[in-house]
Amino acid sequence: MKNVKMTLAALALTALSFNSFAVVQVDSAPSDQQKAGVISATAGANLTSLESQLAEKAEQAGAKSFRITSTSGQNNLHGTAVIYN
Protein backbone atom coordinates (compact mmCIF):
# COMPACT_ATOMS: atom_id res chain seq x y z
CA MET A 1 0.00 0.00 0.00
CA LYS A 2 2.85 2.37 0.82
CA ASN A 3 4.44 1.69 -2.58
CA VAL A 4 1.15 2.45 -4.34
CA LYS A 5 0.86 5.80 -2.53
CA MET A 6 4.46 6.70 -3.37
CA THR A 7 3.95 5.75 -7.01
CA LEU A 8 0.77 7.83 -7.26
CA ALA A 9 2.50 10.78 -5.62
CA ALA A 10 5.42 10.51 -8.03
CA LEU A 11 3.06 10.39 -11.03
CA ALA A 12 1.16 13.43 -9.78
CA LEU A 13 4.36 15.43 -9.30
CA THR A 14 5.60 14.39 -12.73
CA ALA A 15 2.38 15.57 -14.33
CA LEU A 16 2.63 18.91 -12.52
CA SER A 17 6.25 19.30 -13.60
CA PHE A 18 5.41 18.75 -17.26
CA ASN A 19 2.57 21.26 -17.10
CA SER A 20 4.67 23.95 -15.47
CA PHE A 21 7.43 23.67 -18.08
CA ALA A 22 5.26 23.52 -21.18
CA VAL A 23 6.35 27.10 -22.03
CA VAL A 24 10.00 28.07 -21.58
CA GLN A 25 11.13 31.53 -20.53
CA VAL A 26 14.12 32.69 -22.62
CA ASP A 27 16.59 35.57 -22.33
CA SER A 28 16.81 36.30 -26.06
CA ALA A 29 14.80 35.55 -29.18
CA PRO A 30 15.18 31.86 -30.10
CA SER A 31 16.77 31.46 -33.53
CA ASP A 32 14.56 28.48 -34.40
CA GLN A 33 11.25 30.17 -33.47
CA GLN A 34 9.22 33.04 -34.87
CA LYS A 35 7.66 35.92 -32.94
CA ALA A 36 3.96 35.16 -32.51
CA GLY A 37 2.78 38.20 -30.56
CA VAL A 38 2.89 40.14 -27.31
CA ILE A 39 1.14 39.37 -24.03
CA SER A 40 0.70 41.36 -20.82
CA ALA A 41 -0.24 40.54 -17.26
CA THR A 42 -0.79 42.21 -13.90
CA ALA A 43 0.12 40.51 -10.63
CA GLY A 44 0.81 41.38 -7.01
CA ALA A 45 4.06 42.79 -5.67
CA ASN A 46 5.95 39.55 -6.36
CA LEU A 47 8.02 39.07 -9.55
CA THR A 48 7.54 35.32 -9.38
CA SER A 49 3.77 35.70 -9.56
CA LEU A 50 4.14 38.03 -12.55
CA GLU A 51 6.36 35.48 -14.32
CA SER A 52 3.78 32.79 -13.59
CA GLN A 53 0.96 34.92 -14.98
CA LEU A 54 2.93 35.62 -18.16
CA ALA A 55 3.84 31.93 -18.53
CA GLU A 56 0.17 30.96 -18.15
CA LYS A 57 -0.91 33.46 -20.80
CA ALA A 58 1.87 32.30 -23.14
CA GLU A 59 0.75 28.70 -22.72
CA GLN A 60 -2.88 29.65 -23.37
CA ALA A 61 -1.75 31.36 -26.58
CA GLY A 62 0.00 28.15 -27.68
CA ALA A 63 3.52 29.57 -27.46
CA LYS A 64 6.65 27.43 -27.14
CA SER A 65 8.59 30.16 -25.32
CA PHE A 66 8.34 33.73 -24.08
CA ARG A 67 10.69 36.59 -23.25
CA ILE A 68 9.77 39.23 -20.68
CA THR A 69 10.36 42.67 -22.20
CA SER A 70 9.17 45.00 -19.46
CA THR A 71 8.00 45.18 -15.87
CA SER A 72 6.75 48.15 -13.91
CA GLY A 73 4.95 49.04 -10.70
CA GLN A 74 5.57 48.73 -7.00
CA ASN A 75 2.65 47.16 -5.16
CA ASN A 76 0.88 45.94 -8.29
CA LEU A 77 3.33 44.77 -10.96
CA HIS A 78 2.57 44.89 -14.68
CA GLY A 79 4.65 43.12 -17.31
CA THR A 80 4.78 42.41 -21.02
CA ALA A 81 6.40 39.58 -22.92
CA VAL A 82 7.00 38.52 -26.50
CA ILE A 83 5.79 35.00 -27.31
CA TYR A 84 7.42 32.66 -29.84
CA ASN A 85 6.27 29.61 -31.82
pLDDT of residue 54 exceeding 60: yes
User: What is the average per-residue pLDDT within 13-27?
Assistant: 65
- Predicted TM-score (pTM) of this structure: 0.72
Torsion angle of the four alpha carbons 40, 46, 52, 55, in this order, in degrees rounded to the nearest 10: 30
Query: Residues 5, 47: contact at Cβ < 8 Å?
Result: no
Question: What is the model's pLDDT at position 25?
Answer: 93
User: What is the average per-residue pLDDT within 27-47?
Assistant: 93
Mean pLDDT, the chain, rounded, equals 83
User: What is the average per-residue pLDDT within 50-70?
Assistant: 96
**Within 13 A of 85's CA, how many CA atoms are on the CB side?**
8
Instruction: Label residue 32 by pLDDT band (50, 70, 90).
Output: very high
